[in-house]
Amino acid sequence: MPSAAKPCPFCAIVRGEGHAEVVFEDDATVAFLDKAPLMHGHVLLIPKVHVGTIWEADEATASALALASRRLALAVKTAMGSDGAFVAQNNVVSQSVPHLHVHVIPRRQGDGFFSPRIIWRRVKYRDAAQATGIAAKIRAALETA
């Protein structure tokens, strides 16, 4: 007998059942701090409807993600005082949660994020208060983005 599919943790966040530091929400998308960030302020943007990969997304979903990604990139850059932002979307390979998501990561000149041998290391928030504070900064920056 086949086992049931694992519940989607991102869908749980959309339903308000999963814990996340939400920084943005509109009719089609929601964004929250990554629990295992590559840099402080690393945000994940997801469609509210369950879509596994970019190939499964309809035009409305893809458009909503693109527009929200642009707005979030500006807000993350502003809130974190970074020089730029890395905006990326993975499909299947290295996609730890099978729910379409876009990474928005603050970048600084010389941060070593890309090198000849990329080994991305996750960072941790010092505590829940630090994550909450960063989420609040991003939400505030979104008001002007």
C-alpha to C-alpha distances, 49 to 31, 61, 63, 93, 100, nearest whole angstrom:
13, 8, 14, 21, 9
| Helical spans, DSSP H, in 16-118 | 59-80
- Annotated active-site residue in 40, 42, 99, 101: 101
- The verdict on whether 101 is a catalytic residue reads yes
Separation CA 91–CA 25 (nearest Å): 23
Looking up tokens 């909450």, which residue turns up? 132
Q: Which helix (H) or strand (E) holds 142?
A: helix 128-142
Which positions are annotated as active-site residues? 101
